[in-house]
Amino acid sequence: MIRAIRGATTVSDNDEREIIDETKRLLTEMIQQNDVKAEDVVSVLISMTDDLNATFPAKALRHLDGWTYVPVMCMREINVPHALPKCIRVMMTVHTNRTQQDMHHVYLRDAIQLRPDLKLTKKSDI
């Protein structure tokens, strides 16, 4: 079965290192929380708000061992007035046997406000 895992985070500045580091942190948390293996990933879509353009956030995925061949694409988020600034969003599509309710979506930093109903739950808390 194919399912999608959502994630989002924010950065403080339009800085290459911070964008890559925070994206890597988000991806790593999504992978760990959902026991994702690179070979089970269909694709990863990463969007950023208009105020971020210092780098491609997909570079973060290339820093993960074994993820070289995973298709990844970066794009712009819709520029909606009063939307959360400096936000990076991820949609990871994976093959899994989990139900939709068993997927762990990850929202970090200021992005928690996007989906407070899906707050990060560590496996140790389950």
Degrees to nearest 5, angle at CA 100 with 25 and 26 = 5
What is the b/e burial string over 45-81, where b = at least 16 CB atoms within 10 angstroms of the residue's CB?
A: bbbbbeebeebbbbbbbeeeeebeebebebeebeeee
Q: Are 19 and 109 in contact (CB under 8 A)?
A: no
Check the annotation: does 107 bind a ligand. yes
Phi, psi of 25, deg, nearest 5? -60, -45
Q: Cα separation of 21 and 96, whole Å?
A: 27
The catalytic residue positions are: 6, 62, 74, 77, 89, 107, 115
Check the annotation: does 17 bind a ligand. no
Check the annotation: does 109 bind a ligand. no
Q: Cα separation of 57 and 100, whole Å?
A: 26
Annotated binding site for prephenate: 6, 89, 107
Annotated binding site: 6, 89, 107
